[in-house]
Amino acid sequence: MSLGRKKGNALCRLMIFNILICVLVVVSWKRGNNKGNPKRIRIPSQRFWRRQIMSKSFWNKEQQRLDMINNPLINSELSGDSLIGLPDWLHDTGPLDPCEADYRVPRQILDYNTLPTRFQDFLLHMHCRMYPMLINQPHVCDEKPFLLLVVKSLIYNFDRRQAIRQTWGQAGFLANRTVTTVFLLGNASSMDNFPDLQEMLDHEAKLHKDLLQWDYRDTFFNLTLKEVLFLEWFSTYCPQAQYVLKGDDDVFVNTLRVIDFLEGLSEGKAKDLFMGDVISNAGPQRDKKLKYFVPETVFLGQYPPYAGGGGYLFSGDLAKRLYNISQKVVLYPIDDVYTGMCLEKLGLVPEKHKGFRTFDIEKKYRDNPCIHRGLMLVHSRTPQEMLKIWPWIVHPELDCQ
């Protein structure tokens, strides 16, 4: 008998055996039901799988598309980049090059022409995440920092960066822990009426070796881009950092208080740490006069809990997970809300801590050294105020008992 025929007979016997097993199971189940167990199988009266309805808002629609494409059940049916078999609305994915202007935006967002120019620019290029680095510091984390201080800044804020270097952002050893500081920058555009300060910035980078700059237009709506570019940089050049404190260049950070807090964390608590001044039950502003205005044509729904972008603290382990999950979340024009969306995808909720005051403290306490000693971060402070407050933090003779 040929080998193929033997395999065929074996396969037939296996199929017959499986059929017999199924028959025995069914017979046994029926007998059990007839012996005083009258329970019947409950058949759902409604559909348990509903077809997804396409949102009318552009961001929601793009996120629905990304969720579908990243669905492992759908991915298993795809071959290469094919979208065959998926709903029709998934086929219109925009230009092949994600860094080209998205031709769908003006025709899908009805009030596009009435939006602020910087908002229009964000929407046209919201799928682009590939921008060349103009200034890098590939060895800044060689000492494996315990705490990485990450400061969002603008090219012309030289005085703020210098004040931070002289106070809470001092790099080196602090409280017997390695602290590293980097400043995140985009590019100034002549469209925004900024002078060309690149040569001064290049000199600053050579002098201090703490600047990271990418070649994209540095605007308020592109702060989210600054966030994801940093997370990518972190995963490549600084994945060994244990903790990250990320904030604006007008916040004051009590670095000693932060280190003391981190040293008291348990290993389990540290892994998923994400802490700040958390905002809950918030949604988009619909008033065009407001800074955080987002129209219904762009986004519908409530925001997840998120930590105010003035400053928050998180673990290095979570930073790497945030980078990975950010590839599955469409860029949103408000950076702290976007980070909250990424945390929600990870099944995490940011923790509120009273030591983070991104909306400042009462005016009567702003000159109180002991109040500042008990805080981790306060917003906002001028460079002159930072230089005034820092001695309150580091001088041991100050009695705050």
* Helix (H/G/I), strand (E/B), else coil: 244: strand
For residue 393, the tally of other CB atoms under 10 A from its CB is: 19
pLDDT at residue 13 above 90?
A: no
pLDDT at residue 14 above 60?
A: no
pLDDT at residue 103 above 50?
A: yes
Nearest to 229 by CA among 340, 128, 342: 128
Region of 152 please: left (phi>0), alpha (psi -120 to 50) or beta.
beta
Q: What is the DSSP string of 102-140?
A: -TTHHHHSTTGGGS-HHHHHHHHTTT-----EEE--TTT
Adjacent-strand bridge partners of 243: 147, 315
Structure tokens at 162: 């210098």
92: which residues sit within 8 A by CB, 6+ positions away? 104
pLDDT at residue 10 above 50?
A: no
pLDDT value of position 268: 84
Q: What CA–CA distance (Å, rounded) separates 165 from 107?
A: 47
pLDDT tens digits, 41-59: 666 666 555 556 788 899 9
Q: CB of 38 within 8 A of CB of 56?
A: no
Adjacent-strand bridge partners of 187: 217
Q: CB of 160 within 8 A of CB of 153?
A: yes
Task: Report all structural domains of the chain as residue ranges with CATH numbers, in order of start.
Answer: 133-394 (3.90.550.50)
Q: What CA–CA distance (Å, rounded) separates 226 from 131?
A: 10
pLDDT at residue 175 above 80?
A: yes
Judged by average pLDDT, the poorest of 155-159, 194-198, 259-263 is 194-198
> Residue type at 267?
E
Judged by average pLDDT, the poorest of 32-41, 67-76, 263-272, 312-321 is 32-41
pLDDT-above-90 percentage for the chain: 72
As a whole number of angstroms, the longest Cα–Cα distance in the chain is 98
Nearest to 164 by CA among 400, 397, 395, 389: 389
pLDDT at residue 3 above 50?
A: no
Q: Average of pLDDT values for 264-282?
A: 94
| Cis upstream peptide for 79 (omega within 30°) | no
pLDDT at residue 167 above 80?
A: yes
Q: CB of 184 within 8 A of CB of 216?
A: no
Residues making up the chain, counted from first to last: 401
pLDDT value of position 54: 80
pLDDT at residue 295 above 50?
A: yes
* Helix (H/G/I), strand (E/B), else coil: 46: coil
pLDDT tens digits, 191-201: 677 888 999 99
Task: Provide the 8-state DSSP code for 53.
Answer: P
